[in-house]
Chains A and B, each alone.
Chain A
């Protein structure tokens, strides 16, 4: 027995907010047969297991619906618009430039599309990828695993936890732990401790946030017994706990993109793409967290919707730009997205680029230049802080030379 071969007009890999947003918009605008493939049994992506509010607002944690409700509304919108949504179907690799192989309980398929949209999301780096030494006992989680364990499977977690990281998702992890009846004894971050007071513990005390502190080892054999840390001033301590959650530190799920020889941006580690969400592979678009580690679900959904117009344009015109200049950042900036200049002069979502910084910058002056020529300078009014998005206007793009060298963004 072999693979069942089929064709569709647009194939979307990943049924999270980004893929569902793309599917809904494309199906509604008459792109033909639009099919979304999701490897989980239920579509909706990460929000399915984020049982806290904060979805649909512009920033993570800022009001709005709960994750599952948000996921359901994304699914409903895609299906209502006429997209075909298939769950339990994993795209396992490429069999041609716009042809993928899939595995599902119903069998193996080989699907060829006129355009492929990658929307495979991002994950948190686990303890091993962060090279945290020590023993390897049970009790070590990422937020993603923790949230699924608590909200989807009602599993027992532990009694005392330490949360590593200080991103919005770290707070979500701490909340999930509290819901699961786990005492969060400390949050640890290698960055300066935020002013914001941390959570309240069952004892009535506040959870201390240990800033400028790194995790030096995990201890315990049958079960985690502690997290050893070192403060910037050299003091060391071991925090007694049976659970540790490594939060944030995002890495796009770029396996399929890389296997398809899509060039990645060195900063984001997601596919390099332009304002029209085009990668450097003809007919292959990318949207959502795959492009930039973590943004809010609202941004992922909006990117999904925004890709519809360029996909439709491509389906009719069929052309694809080559040799676009990259947009790159200088340290301490970490990355910028999009990171290719769109030669058609298109602007990114909401007319602005998203950036991240490695360290706090108070009202930085961002300077954009290409081949020694300054294209734009812009002072940010608010400080830029690590792990939070900040933005650069895109209205200088028409001054960039589409045939020129790399466009550099630096801080002055």
Chain B
């Protein structure tokens, strides 16, 4: 079956002609919506996945800290705690199956003063209550032996050996690829503007015309509250909480072995230093409550604040070159839990407030939503196996095509490097452009291959990558 992906024009179906009618429509193709679509693809349903943007994963999902959390510090007993714990196991297994890079580097919650040191035992106890039993306390010497480049003054740490880093880009791409391969229709550049709810169907007015669906799932991220209000519900308001991050050069990677977490305070999780699966080092994020849901810019104040915090944690990091600065917006709702709610009588499920753990929890959220859907009068039938997918490996800890003699012998394009900083070959770029869920911008290509993502930010390869992208455009 050739995948159905549309990016322009009226939404129609061939037979019978007219506006399409789906069993289920998922609004929002972020990591959460894509995971839900993938889960629903296992059933004999006509499912659509819509996104306002020109690519999947182009909202909050593209700009996070990329940590596969254990959920050790979640609010015990919350829905989030359960779904993070479960999601982590599911995603870890899925990553192993599909080739999404994951590195189990472990986290250290570092105490920098006596007060922080005194809270570590309580955090250990909280981890236990969250059913996480591998955490343990480290003294100052052991901590320093583990992280020799740590700044002066670290007194001890809580070790969470299972905290991991993951690729934030191939995760939603794997979900979406598998979903469309199994028959889910993906409609991009398709913003839902209004919803009329009738007795047996919702009519969505989109920027690409009307679409009818029996069941509706709202996974609109920052806009989940607005979509809710379209249907007359005013349960919560999403406040964008901006997180700005600095990505340091790969040459800094040797400075740090674990995810270095601060001891949490009332103000939030705080600023961390973490390796990335691409071999860089992240510093961030900030936590700023805003009212503009599009404010993904960085600011001088935040950059200065991050540098000041980073200097304390890992002084040598600040001497390294910066590769990128970016910001993401968390969907805060004034409640420390997800806002997932099913309204069976309306055949409507809201998947809102997926704050700062949505990447980790995505597969468990999806399974939870499928359960809710089953409970709202839709006969899902028996699930079938999904066609397997293999993601291109974007991870630095696993063999990349430029290192694979057999692959290059079979196809020299994998030995032709285009992006030198990230060592991306012409073969990988070609594959991404011809992939089942192809990119629609150089930025989308970057998230599928790493091309242009490196220290020179295009000084060497920018023009060449753009030329390859333009060439492949239909």
- A contact set with B: CB distance below 8 Å: 1-3, 39, 88, 90, 92, 103-108, 123-129, 131, 133-136, 138, 141-142, 144-145, 148-149, 152-153, 155, 216-217, 219, 221, 251, 255, 258
Q: Which of A103, A124, A125, A141 contacts B408 (CB 8 A)?
A: A103
Interface size class of B (residues with CB under 8 A): 35 or more
Q: Which of A90, A103, A108, A149 contacts B466 (CB 8 A)?
A: A149
A131 close to B303 (CB less than 8 A)? yes
Please, which residues of chain A bring their CB within 8 A of the CB of B324? Answer: 128
Q: With A3-B405, A103-B408, A107-B409 given, is the CB distance from A124 to B415 under 8 Å?
A: no
Report Cα–Cα, A16/B442, bound state, in Å.
28
Chain B 382-403, CB-CB to A under 8 Å as 1, else 0, gives: 0000000000000000000011
Q: With A128-B325, A129-B321, A131-B303 given, is the CB distance from A145 to B458 under 8 Å?
A: yes
A145 close to B402 (CB less than 8 A)? no
B234-289, CB < 8 A from A: 247, 250-251
Q: With A107-B415, A145-B463, A153-B467 given, is the CB distance from A126 to B456 under 8 Å?
A: yes
Min distance, Cβ B149 to any Cβ of chain A, angstroms = 16
- B contact set with A: CB distance below 8 Å: 247, 250-251, 294, 296-300, 302-303, 321-326, 402-403, 405-406, 408-409, 412-413, 415-417, 420, 423, 442-443, 455-460, 462-464, 466-467, 470
A108 close to B408 (CB less than 8 A)? yes
A255 close to B459 (CB less than 8 A)? no
A144 close to B459 (CB less than 8 A)? yes
A126 close to B423 (CB less than 8 A)? no
A88 close to B416 (CB less than 8 A)? yes
A217 close to B297 (CB less than 8 A)? yes
Please, which residues of chain B bring their CB within 8 A of the CB of A221? Answer: 294
Please, which residues of chain A bring their CB within 8 A of the CB of B423? Answer: 90, 92, 103
Please, which residues of chain B bring their CB within 8 A of the CB of A217? Answer: 297, 299-300
Report Cα–Cα, A152/B467, bound state, in Å.
10
Q: Which of A1, A90, A127, A134 contacts B406 (CB 8 A)?
A: A1
16 residue pairs A–B, Cβ–Cβ below 8 Å: A90-B423, A92-B402, A103-B415, A103-B417, A131-B322, A134-B297, A134-B298, A136-B296, A141-B458, A142-B457, A144-B459, A149-B462, A152-B463, A216-B300, A251-B321, A255-B251
Report Cα–Cα, A3/B409, bound state, in Å.
11
B416 close to A105 (CB less than 8 A)? yes
A105 close to B463 (CB less than 8 A)? no
Report Cα–Cα, A308/B155, bound state, in Å.
54
Please, which residues of chain B bring their CB within 8 A of the CB of A127? Answer: 457
B322 close to A39 (CB less than 8 A)? no
Report Cα–Cα, A219/B298, bound state, in Å.
10
Q: Which of B325, B405, B442 contacts A2 (CB 8 A)?
A: B405
Please, which residues of chain B bring their CB within 8 A of the CB of A3? Answer: 405
Please, which residues of chain A bring their CB within 8 A of the CB of B470? Answer: 155
